[in-house]
Amino acid sequence: MSEIEQTSRSSTYDYSSMTGGRTMETFIGALFGVSLLATVGLGVTFWLGGQPQIEGALLFVALAGIGVGVVAWGKYLTPHGPFVQEREELKSSDVDRDAFYKSLERGTKVLGRRSFLGKMLGVSLGAFGILQLFPFLRSLGPVPGKSLYVTDWKNGSQVTKVDGSPVTVNDLEVGGAMTVFPEGFIGNAVDQVILVRPSNFNLVTRPGRETWGPQGYLAFSKVCTHAGCPVGLYQELTQQLLCPCHQSLFDVLTGATPVFGPAPRPLPQLPLSVDTNGVLRSQSGFNEPIGPGFWERGNG
């Protein structure tokens, strides 16, 4: 480096602070040393099989030793000015701009003369792009079709517990609840149904559903009509179903109508019947799509 010009406010520079940096130098050196020790410790920890808390603590010391040391080096042992620098204007000069326009025009003039070619190119590229999109989208997944409207509950589906055994009329005590599936579809997300047996006083059966709840058994889709979480909690005392995701409450006694929270629609009810062996079966599927709303779904 050649000789240097330095601006300063006076010639009485106090160089003693540079020797005063000796303490800082020792401190920083010690930090790097501590970091090195922690790294060795980390190696030993890994060698011995590892332990999360010790690894975290030693990683912290190893990294922080380097970090604090380097920052302190920059902070205390380098010149800080305050230095100043000019901001050049971002905008180009008029000469540069004009030159740019001229260069640009060279191309646009030549190309503009063949506007038909340009349009043709645009159409070809656009058509190519759109056409490529179709197989791509199509391969990503099937179109919804009717799949949002149907479940695997059919006329006569046997109501089955999670362990695969059928549910009989004696399986649930009054005030109890359990999750059930149609036989053969255990664990299927859209088929989950919550079976409740409320103490039946004050039960308001909605018109047309008089035969849907034999012997006090009521079955509702367990998929919340709000955002699709499982309506997992049956509160026996209030005879309400609670969705733990966004706290929608459904009143079992009035056909699982929403009484609190953001859920806009009642849980669809599954019509039940009891066969000659005392096993619960569904009379049919749900009479409306289960779960949260979507565009194609018209009435509530």
Partner 1 sequence: MDKRVEKTTDWLDERLGIAKGARSSLNKIFPDHWSFMLGEIALYSFIVLLFTGVFLTLFYVPSSQPIIYHGSYAPLRGQTMSEAYASTLHISFSVRAGLVMRQMHHWAANIFVAAIVVHLCRVFFTGSFRKPREINWIVGSILLILAIVNGFIGYSLPDDLISGTGIRIAFSIVESIPLVGSYLAFFLFGGNYPGNAIIPRFYTIHVLLVPALIVVLLAAHLGIMYHQKHTQYPAPKRTNKNVVGSVLWPTYALEAGGFFFITAAVIAALGGLVQINPIWLYGPYIPYKVSYAVQPDWYMGWLDGALRLMPSWEIVGFGHMIPNVFFPAVLLPGLTFTALSLWPFIEKKITKDDQVHNICDRPRDNPWRTSLGVGILTFYIVLFFASSTDVLANTFNTSLNFVLWTFRILLIALPPVAGYVTYMLTKETATVADAGLRKGPVVITRSEDGEYSTVVTDDDSSGADVNFELIEVPEEREYRQVVEGNETDRELVGVSESSPSGDNGGVSHKKATAQRSGGSGIFRIPRNLPGGGGLFGGRGLKRQQRDAQER
**Footprint on residues 110-149 left by partner 1 (CB under 8 A):** 137, 140-144, 147-148
In the set 34, 37, 39, 64, which binds partner 1 (CB under 8 A)? Answer: 64
Counting contacts by CB under 8 A, is residue 295 touching partner 1? yes
Torsion of CA 69, 71, 75, 76, to 10 degrees: 0
Looking at the Cβ atoms of 49 and 207, the one nearer to partner 1 is 49
> In the beta sheet, which residues pair with residue 249?
242, 260
3-state secondary structure of 237: coil
Instruction: Read off the tokens for 131.
Output: 């056409």
Looking at the Cβ atoms of 15 and 116, the one nearer to partner 1 is 15
In the set 167, 190, 219, 253, which binds partner 1 (CB under 8 A)? Answer: 190
- Output the CA–CA distances (angstroms, integers) from residue 194 to 111, 242, 272, 300, in the order listed: 69, 12, 12, 21
Binding mask 84-113 for partner 1 (x = CB under 8 A): xxxx--x-----------------------
Looking at the Cβ atoms of 155 and 238, the one nearer to partner 1 is 238
Counting contacts by CB under 8 A, is residue 238 touching partner 1? no
Length of the chain: 300
Shortest Å distance, C-beta 241 to partner 1 = 12
Looking at the Cβ atoms of 75 and 206, the one nearer to partner 1 is 75
Counting contacts by CB under 8 A, is residue 229 touching partner 1? yes
- Output the CA–CA distances (angstroms, integers) from residue 135 to 127, 130, 140, 143, 144, in the order listed: 14, 10, 9, 13, 16
> In the beta sheet, which residues pair with residue 29?
none
Looking at the Cβ atoms of 40 and 71, the one nearer to partner 1 is 71
Shortest Å distance, C-beta 148 to partner 1 = 6
Site for partner 1 in 142-181 (CB under 8 A): 142-144, 147-148, 162, 179
Site for partner 1 in 245-274 (CB under 8 A): 245-249, 258, 260-265
Looking at the Cβ atoms of 156 and 244, the one nearer to partner 1 is 244
Shortest Å distance, C-beta 94 to partner 1 = 17
Shortest Å distance, C-beta 33 to partner 1 = 15
Within 179-229, residue ranges assigned H as helices are none
CA-angle at 60, arms to 57 and 62, nearest 5°: 110
Looking at the Cβ atoms of 60 and 100, the one nearer to partner 1 is 60
Which residue reads 């590229």 in tokens?
125
For 130-148, the three-class secondary structure string (H helix, E strand, C coil) is HHHHHHHHHHHCCCCCCCC
Shortest Å distance, C-beta 146 to partner 1 = 11
Looking at the Cβ atoms of 142 and 208, the one nearer to partner 1 is 142
Instruction: Read off the tokens for 27.
Output: 């401190």
Site for partner 1 in 3-62 (CB under 8 A): 3-15, 17-18, 20-21, 46, 49-50, 52-57, 59-62
Q: Would you list the DSSP string of 151-182?
A: -S--TTPBEE-TTSPBPBTTSS-TT-EEEEEE
Shortest Å distance, C-beta 256 to partner 1 = 14
Axis crossing angle, helix 94-112 with helix 115-140, rounded to the nearest 10: 90
